[in-house]
C-alpha cells in the first residue's frame, strides 16, 4: 500500500454525503444537510450495511452515532465547563454540528473547514439557509498542506489567539497512513501552542487485535476503505501507543475515551460488544 498523497485525498469527500444523511436520519440535522447523493448512497448501501451488521457484528450506523454524540458531549462540556468560545471543525463535510452549536450557544465562534470543493458546498448550503454570519464561517483547508493558503497556519491566522480554542476532526484520521497523520497532528499541535488553552477532539479506530471479533471487524473496516476508493488504516495497538503518539506530536494530557465506559449518557442502546471506536481528547500545552 503506497501512502496517499495530498493530491488524492479528495476521494474521501463523497463519504461526507453518506454521514450527512445519517445525521439527518437521526434528527441531528435539518433537511438542508441531506443531499440527493447522500440519500442515494444510504439507500444503495443499506443491504450491505445490514449484512455487515448481521454477519460481522459491525453496526456502522451505531458506530457513527457513538462518535458523533460522544464528540458533541465533550464539546458541550468544554463550552459549559471549560470556557471555550471558539471552535474549529476540520473536515467538517456536511456535518450539522456547527449549525447546532451556534444555535445553542449564541456566544460561540465556529469555523468549519474542509478541502476547497467540499468547503464551497458547505458554504453554499449554510449561506442558502441564511445561517452563515460573522461567527459561523467556512474556510478551505488541506490537512496535508505544510504551507500556503490551504495550510493550518493560514486557517488559524484570524482566530483570537488570546482565547481558548477547541479543534475537532471527525471521520478523517483513519483515512491516512500513520506518517501523514502524525505530520498533520504535529502541525496542529504547533498551531495550538500559540493559544492560552487548546484542546483537540477526534475519533480514532485503533488496531485492537485482542478484540473478540477482530478478524470480522478488520474485514468490515477494509470494506469501508474499498467503498471510499482508498485505504482505511487502523492505528495503534493500545491506549499506551495512542498516548505516546499524541505526546510525540506535541500534545499533553491525552485522554482515550471508550464508548463502553464513557458513552453511558449518550442515549444509545448497549451493543453488548466492545467497540473499536475511541474518541481522543488531547490538550496543548
Ligand atoms: C467521512 S467525511 C466526514 C465528514 C464529517 N466530519 C462527518 O463526520 O460527517 C471525511 C471528510 O474529510 C474531508 N477531507 C478529506 N481529505 C481532507 C484533507 N486533506 N484536508 C481536509 N479535509 C479533508 C472530506 O472532504 C470529507 O468532508
Nearest CA owner, ligand 1 atom 14: 91
How does strand 252-257 pair with strand 278-284? antiparallel
Query: Of 94-103, 142-151, 227-236, 244-253, which gets the smallest average pLDDT?
Result: 227-236
Q: What would the pLDDT profile of 31-76 be if each residue is shown by its tens digit?
A: 999 999 999 999 999 998 898 888 877 888 999 999 999 999 999 9
Nearest CA to ligand 1 atom 20: 142
Query: Is 95:116 a contact under the CB 8 Å cutoff?
Result: no
The CATH number of the domain covering residues in 6-284 = 3.40.50.150
The residue ranges of every structural domain in the chain are: 6-284
Mutate to test the pocket of ligand 1, among 91, 94, 116, 224 (most ligand atoms within 8 A of CB): 91
Position 54 scores a pLDDT of 87
Strand 136-140 and strand 252-257: the pairing is unpaired
Q: Supply the mean pLDDT for the chain.
A: 92
Residue 112 Cα, ligand 1 centroid: separation in angstroms? 11
**Which residues 6+ apart lie within 8 Å of 179 measured at CB?**
3
Cα of 119 to ligand 1 centre, how many Å?
Answer: 10
**Cα-to-centroid distance, 91 and ligand 1 (Å):** 4
Q: 253 falls in which pLDDT band (50, 70, 90)?
A: very high
At 13-27, the pLDDT tens digits run: 889 999 999 999 999
Return phi, psi of residue 281, to 5°: -120, 110
- pLDDT on residue 195: 97
Q: Which residues line ligand 1 (CB under 6 A)?
A: 9, 12-13, 15-16, 19-20, 90-93, 95, 114-115, 118, 141-144, 170-172
Mean pLDDT within 136-162: 97
pLDDT score of 227: 80
User: If you take atom 12 of ligand 1, which residue's CA is the nearest one?
Assistant: 91
C-alpha–C-alpha distance, residues 51 and 125, integer Å: 33
Q: Which residues lie below 8 Å from residue 226, measured CB to CB, with a gap of 6+? A: none
Which pLDDT tens digit goes with each residue over 196-238? 999 999 999 999 888 888 888 888 788 877 887 778 889 999 9
- What residue's CA is closest to ligand 1, atom 27? 93
Confidence bin at 8 (pLDDT 50/70/90): low
pLDDT for 248 beyond 70? yes
Q: Give one word for 164, left, alpha or beta, with left for phi > 0 and alpha for psi -120 to 50.
A: beta
Q: What is the pLDDT of residue 4?
A: 47
| Contact (Cβ atoms closer than 8 angstroms) between residue 211 and residue 274 | yes
SS (H, E, C) the chain: CCCCCHHHHHHHCCHHHHHHHHHHHCCCCCHHHCCHHHHHHHHHHHHHHHHHHHHHCCCHHHHHHHHHHHHHHHHHHHHHCCCCCEEEEECCCCCCHHHHHHHHCCCCEEEEEECHHHHHHHHHHHHHCCCCECCEEEEECCCCCCCCCCCHHHHHCCCCCCCCEEEEECCCHHHCCHHHHHHHHHHHHHHHCCCCCEEEEEEECCCCCCCCCHHHHHHHHHHHHHHCCCCCCCCCCCHHHHHHHHHHCCCEEEEEECHHHHCHHHCCCCCCCCCCCEEEEEEEC
Probe target for ligand 1 pocket from 17, 61, 114, 125, with the most ligand atoms within 8 Å of CB: 114
* Lookup: cell for 156: 488559524
pLDDT at 9: 83
The pLDDT tens digits of the residues spanning 258-267 come to: 998 888 888 8
Query: 13 CA distance to ligand 1 centroid (A)?
Result: 6
Nearest atom of ligand 1 to the alpha carbon of 15: 1
Name the band, by pLDDT with cuts 50, 70 and 90, for residue 91: very high
Amino acid at each position: 500500500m503506497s501512502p496517499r498523497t495530498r493530491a488524492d485525498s479528495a476521494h474521501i469527500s463523497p463519504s461526507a454525503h453518506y454521514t450527512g444523511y445519517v445525521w439527518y436520519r437521526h434528527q441531528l440535522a435539518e433537511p438542508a444537510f441531506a443531499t440527493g447523493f447522500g440519500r442515494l448512497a444510504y439507500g444503495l448501501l443499506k443491504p450491505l450495511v445490514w449484512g455487515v451488521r448481521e454477519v460481522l457484528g459491525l453496526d456502522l450506523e451505531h458506530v457513527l452515532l457513538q462518535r458523533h454524540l460522544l464528540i458533541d458531549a465533550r464539546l458541550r462540556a468544554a463550552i459549559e465547563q471549560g470556557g471555550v468560545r471558539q471552535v474549529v471543525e476540520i473536515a467538517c463535510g456536511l456535518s450539522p454540528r456547527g449549525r447546532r452549536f451556534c444555535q445553542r450557544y449564541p456566544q460561540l465562534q465556529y469555523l468549519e473547514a474542509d478541502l476547497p470543493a467540499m468547503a464551497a458546498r458547505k458554504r453554499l448550503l449554510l449561506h442558502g439557509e441564511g445561517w452563515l454570519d460573522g461567527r459561523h464561517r467556512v474556510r478551505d483547508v488541506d490537512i496535508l498542506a505544510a504551507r500556503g493558503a490551504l495550510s493550518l497556519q493560514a486557517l488559524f491566522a484570524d482566530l483570537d489567539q488570546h482565547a481558548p480554542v477547541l479543534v475537532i476532526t471527525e471521520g478523517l484520521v483513519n483515512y491516512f497512513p500513520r506518517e501523514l497523520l502524525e505530520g498533520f497532528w504535529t502541525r496542529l499541535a504547533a498551531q495550538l501552542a500559540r493559544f492560552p488553552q487548546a484542546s483537540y477532539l477526534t475519533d480514532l479506530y485503533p488496531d485492537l487485535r485482542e478484540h473478540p471479533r477482530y478478524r470480522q471487524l478488520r474485514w468490515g473496516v477494509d470494506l469501508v476503505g474499498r467503498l471510499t476508493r482508498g485505504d482505511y488504516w487502523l492505528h495503534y495497538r493500545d491506549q499506551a501507543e495512542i498516548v505516546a503518539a499524541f505526546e510525540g506530536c506535541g500534545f499533553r494530557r491525552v485522554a482515550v475515551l471508550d464508548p463502553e465506559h464513557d458513552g453511558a449518557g449518550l442515549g444509545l442502546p448497549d451493543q453488548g460488544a466492545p467497540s473499536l471506536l475511541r474518541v481522543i481528547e488531547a490538550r496543548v500545552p
